[in-house]
Amino acid sequence: MEKRNEIRRKTVHLCLAIIPVLYFFFSRYVMLSLTGVLLFVAILVEGLRIFNSKFAVVFNQKLGNLLRAHEKRGLTGATYLFISSFFMILLFQQNIAICVLFILIISDGLGALVGKLWGKHRLYGFKTVEGSIVFLVSAVLIVLFVFRRPLWIGWVGLITAFCVEVLIQKIDDNFTIPLFAGGVMQILFMLTQQGVYQPYFTLH
């Protein structure tokens, strides 16, 4: 049952890769509107889940088995992901936002699934060697096929994301991976003057 719930949880997580996919085709304004609505709905559900006992009972009956222990007492990973998606699109270059969101959703999702189901060699805390390898390999492929030049900034972002995913465990990685990896990549992009930075108030 636990393995089935983990598969269901990560299937939902991986389906959210539709967000960076859509960002290939739609403007920043459209994507901010979409992720803003998703974030609003997520926060509304979180509020009802925490403060409305009747809603909480129904929610737990339907989706409670997909939540981890710390999510039952606070925000769910999905809400953190929607927060990250909105602010990455708002603050970072499209190229960087798409790449980091793919790493966050696909690499982190696959790595966690493999580590949970088949991981046998403990690396650090709850992380396993098997899950970390899957994270790293998938992230390498994402940088190669998704990130535009300069490619070295993509590699720095990948290394940052991997270190954050392995070492920082007390804060949800749906928040920490975009914050650190995306932030480092954006700073390097600006310092090397590769392309034109689109500030948060430029929505076209």
**Maximum pairwise Cα distance, the chain:** 54
Q: What are phi and psi of 202, to 5 degrees?
A: -100, 110
pLDDT above 60: residue 12: yes
pLDDT band at 38 (very low <50, low <70, confident <90, very high): very high
Report pLDDT for 102. Answer: 92
Report pLDDT for 126. Answer: 65
pLDDT band at 14 (very low <50, low <70, confident <90, very high): confident
Most confident of 71-80, 95-104, 143-152, 171-180: 95-104
Structural domain spans, the chain: 2-191
pLDDT band at 39 (very low <50, low <70, confident <90, very high): very high
DSSP secondary structure code for residue 123 in this structure = E
- How far from 170 is each of 106, 119, 166, 174, 180, CA to CA, in Å? 21, 20, 11, 12, 15
pLDDT band at 72 (very low <50, low <70, confident <90, very high): low
pLDDT band at 141 (very low <50, low <70, confident <90, very high): very high
pTM check: above 0.85? no
| Gap between the Cα atoms of 121 and 105, Å rounded | 23
| Gap between the Cα atoms of 30 and 11, Å rounded | 25
pLDDT band at 3 (very low <50, low <70, confident <90, very high): low
Structure confidence by residue, pLDDT tens digits, 80-130:
888 989 999 998 889 899 999 999 888 888 887 787 777 666 666 667 778
pLDDT band at 19 (very low <50, low <70, confident <90, very high): very high
From the number of C-beta atoms within 10 Å of its C-beta (0-12, 13-18, 19+), residue 85 rates as buried
| Gap between the Cα atoms of 51 and 146, Å rounded | 41
Would you state the structure tokens that stand for residue 188, as one six-digit string?
């390097």
| Gap between the Cα atoms of 24 and 193, Å rounded | 22
